[in-house]
Chain A
Amino acid sequence: MLALSAGWAKATAEDKIVVASKIDTEGALLGNIILALLEARGLTVENKIQLGPTNIVRAAILAGQIDVYPEYTGNGALFFHMEEDPAWKNWERGYSLVQTLCRERNHLVWLAPAPANNTWVIAVRKDLAERHRLTSMEDFAKFLAIGGRIKLAASAEFVESPSALPAFEATYGFRLTDQQLLTLSGGNTSATLRAAAEGMSGVNAAMAYGTDGAMSELGLLALKDDKGAQIVYAPSPVVRELVLQRHPEIETWLDPVFASLTLETLQALNARIAVDGEDAAAVAASYLKSRHFLP
């Protein structure tokens, strides 16, 4: 224990960068991408990947305990209690809003986000989608209007949070009854997707995240939110201002890599971790090599 502490203390004294991430699959992937890049370019890094849930990681960076971690632009609504602001539903405006707020109030810099949106989506079984030609949320609302049978598995948070299911309902003009919902309190998307894929209790639709890797493997299709009912959650590396001033090159290293992470790319990479059970660090390294970001 003491030897362990002494080792840490030594590292603290040097100029090293603490890379962290949230505990989920995509957190592990993006955290490892940042870590591998910084390390390969010769910076001293400390690995705090999969540190904990959102509130812990956020508290840690505010306290200066970690230096960089991937966060989603839309979470600015949560951090600054501005859930009602329509800017969050727009990719560019959401990013510039959270960038300004975080720089002014927290001295954190949000680097350019990936062109992806890990927002809440509703996914339906592919057989259902094909039979009734469902590709978008508008189709979903029409299908409900003609009395189509839907049972949606979702977390309590998704059902109750005004920015989640109620936002879909208001934008597309439908209303799910209690019989059409299977609410899993504290449920995550792995559980809801699995319920839909296996048709548990008649479930044929599921709450999911846009970049979820498991959807296609489980025979599910994400419905398009063409009217932008949901807050945009674009993943972006968040760095402490002090650290970025000392190492401005971090921005030039990370920008092209995050620019390459499209929705489809993230889905494929997440699937390798969640579905095939590959190690997140290995997936991150092989991606960086395949795109020649690393030798």
Chain B
Amino acid sequence: MNGLDLMASRPARALRIAIHNQVLFTLLIVASAAVASSGFVSIAPNRLVSGTPLPLWEAAGGLPSLGIAILGSMLLSACCIAPSRALHYAAAASAALLLLLALIAAGHAATALVVNAKPGSRISFGASFWLLAGCASLALADAMQRLAAGIGARLVLAIAIVSAVLWLAITGTFDALSIAREYETRRQVFTGALLQHMALVGASVGGAVVIGFPLGIAVARRPRLQGPVFAFLNLLQTIPSIALFGLLIVPLSALVAAAPWLAAFGIAGIGVTPAIIALVLYALLPVVRNTSAGLTGVDRAAIEAGRGMGLSRGQIFWQLELPLASPVLLAGLRIVIVQAIGLAVVAALIGAGGLGTFVFEGLGQYAVDLVLLGALPAIFLALGADFLLQLAAALLRRRFAT
């Protein structure tokens, strides 16, 4: 790789510093600028007003700031050393430690600040915390990329970081932060909301696959269907979710009134039923599109060969077409699940519960930390689901490769 010249002066050849890793270098510049110029945590007199930002060194004290500075300098020097596997390992370890240290520093800063603060005061993560944590995560991802780390190594790393963060949370590191206080008020309903969210996603993705997969096959077999089917599914995507919920109440209630035994299955005009129907409708487009694209993308020659070997139509489908299309199908499933995790947030608007309850309550009260209490778990659910599907795709590839 061509080095970027920092010191262009010609005579000082011996002092030339080359930046080997420009990604890491950029991230470090962004993180340093953020830490130098914006608040690491902010303290507000109550839940509603914006807080006063406090810089890292003032909020977290000398030791954590020094630790962050040392890890930053180590990463900076890593940019200038010729790349090697050992260096990437060191960079990954430093980035992971930086992420954890940023979390610890924010927690400790809040704990120290809360002692002298009035009872209603709120201490929240500041801009430089988010940027530092974000840059550390990206630096970590960059190091793993350069190491060409396999899915196994990534899994170990993810488990290590998640356990460390959970351990910090359980030991009370974050208790003084506003988001933890929002959690504390809703402790009894939080787990229920999280599980409800996952149930909504599971049911809607399941429903979309059951309906969308055969539909996708039909569209792939009969290209004439493609136009009308996709036009309809596209139309569904354009209906705002809240309007769809409103439209579903009346027919569903009438249906239950006409056939009361349906109520025994939990069917109702409000709550989970309309939410799942709406989420299934939104998930249909990616499922159908990827199923049909995956199947039509299968090499004709492979099918001809199968036919030549005397395979039946069923055998061709299950043993040739489906395995060959599986990467595209799995990619579709990834899109659908991640999209459903995000969309299920709006299910709270029709009384279906889930993490959206916190998001909308927080929006109504302008309480940003309450919004985060709903949004952050949704983001981590999406990342987790994405990761698990990557794992599944990797295992699938390995099976077909051997």
Q: Does A218 contact B (CB under 8 A)?
A: yes
Whole-angstrom distance from the CB of A34 to the nearest CB of chain B? 16
Number of A-B residue pairs at CB separation under 8 A: 122
User: Size range of the interface on A?
Assistant: 35 or more
Interchain CB contact under 8 A, B253 and A65: yes
Please determine whether A48 and B47 come into contact, CB atoms closer than 8 angstroms: no
- Indicate whether A261 reaches chain B with its CB closer than 8 angstroms: no
* Interface stretch (choices A19-27, A73-81, A165-173): A19-27
CB pair A279–B364 under 8 Å, yes or no, is: no
The docked-state distance in angstroms from the alpha carbon of A274 to that of B199 is: 30
Check if B366 sits within 8 Å of A9, measured CB to CB.
no
Residue contact A65 to B357, C-beta cutoff 8 Å: no
Q: Is B349 touching A25 in the complex (CB atoms < 8 A)?
A: no
For B360-388 the 0/1 string (1 means CB < 8 A from A) is 11011111001000000000000000000
Q: Which residues of B contact A52 (CB under 8 A)?
A: 245, 270, 348-351
On chain A, the residues within 8 Å of B162 by CB distance are none
Distance of A124 Cα from B265 Cα, bound (Å): 53
Least distance between B351 CB and chain A CB atoms (Å): 4
User: Which residue on B lies nearest to A7, using beta carbons?
Assistant: B266
Q: Check B268–A279 contact: CB distance below 8 A.
A: no
* A288 CB-CB contact with B under 8 Å: no
Partner of B269, one of A1, A50, A63, A197: A63
Q: Contact: B49 with A51, CB < 8 Å?
A: no
Q: CA of A51 to CA of B245 in the docked complex: distance in angstroms? A: 12
Using an 8 Å CB-CB cutoff, how does the interface string of B113-138 with A read, 1 for contact, 0 for none?
Answer: 00000001010000000000000000
- Distance between A177 CB and nearest chain B CB, rounded to angstroms: 27
Taking the closest CB of chain A, its distance from the CB of B357, in whole angstroms, is 7
Q: Report yes or no: B48 in contact with A194, Cβ–Cβ below 8 A.
A: yes
B264 x A9 contact (CB < 8 A) = yes
A259 within 8 A of B: no
Partner of B199, one of A1, A193, A198: A1
CB of A206 to closest CB in B, whole Å: 12
Given A56-B350, A65-B253, A278-B185: A8 touches B47 (CB 8 Å cut-off): no
Give CA–CA (A89, B262) in the complex, Å. Answer: 44
> How many Å from the CB of A53 to the closest CB on chain B?
7
Q: How far is the CB of B44 from chain A (nearest CB, A)?
A: 11
Interface string of A49-91 (1 = CB under 8 A from B): 0111101100110011110000000000000000000000000
Contact B48 A190 (CB under 8 A): yes
A63-B249, A64-B257 known; A218 vs B357 contact (CB < 8 Å): no
- Docked-complex contact A53 and B349, CB < 8 angstroms: yes
B246 interface residue (CB < 8 Å to A): yes
> Would you list which residues of chain B between 233 and 265 have a CB under 8 Å from chain A?
242, 245-246, 249-250, 253-254, 257, 263-265
Do B202 and A1 touch across chains, with their CB atoms under 8 A apart?
yes
Quick check: A276 and B246 within 8 Å, CB to CB? no
The one of B46, B242, B270 in contact with A276, judged by C-beta atoms closer than 8 angstroms, is: B46
Give the residue name and chain of the A residue nearest to B273 (CB).
A5
The residues in A between 34 and 55 inclusive whose CB is less than 8 angstroms from any CB of B are 48, 50-53, 55
**Contacts of A60 on B, CB cut-off 8 Å?**
249, 269-270, 351
- On whether the beta carbons of A66 and B270 are closer than 8 Å, the reply is yes
Do residues A20 and B185 form an inter-chain contact, with CB atoms below 8 A? no
Pair A4/B48 contact, Cβ less than 8 Å: no
* Contacts A56-B245, A188-B364; A48 near B46 (Cβ below 8 A): no
One of A5, A6, A56, A188 near B349 (C-beta < 8 A): A56
Give the residues in chain B near A188, CB-CB below 8 Å: 363-364, 366
In the bound complex, residues from chain B placing their C-beta under 8 Å from that of A218 are: 48-49
A191 contacts chain B at the CB level, 8 A cutoff: yes
User: Interface 1/0s, chain B 258-292, versus A by CB < 8 A?
Assistant: 00000111101111100000000000000000000
- In the complex, chain A residues 277-294 whose Cβ is within 8 Å of any chain B Cβ: 277-279
Do residues A23 and B361 form an inter-chain contact, with CB atoms below 8 A? yes
Q: Known: A59-B246, A217-B48, A274-B48. Contact between A25 and B364, CB under 8 A? A: yes
| New A-B contacts (14) at CB < 8 Å, excluding given A23-B349, A59-B269 | A1-B199, A12-B263, A23-B364, A24-B364, A48-B351, A52-B348, A55-B246, A56-B270, A59-B250, A60-B351, A65-B249, A275-B48, A276-B47, A279-B186
CB<8 Å pairs between A and B, sample of 13: A1-B199, A23-B349, A25-B365, A52-B349, A52-B350, A53-B349, A56-B246, A65-B253, A65-B268, A190-B48, A217-B46, A218-B49, A274-B365
Q: Which 5 A-B pairs have the closest CB atoms?
A: A5-B266, A190-B366, A63-B253, A51-B351, A9-B264
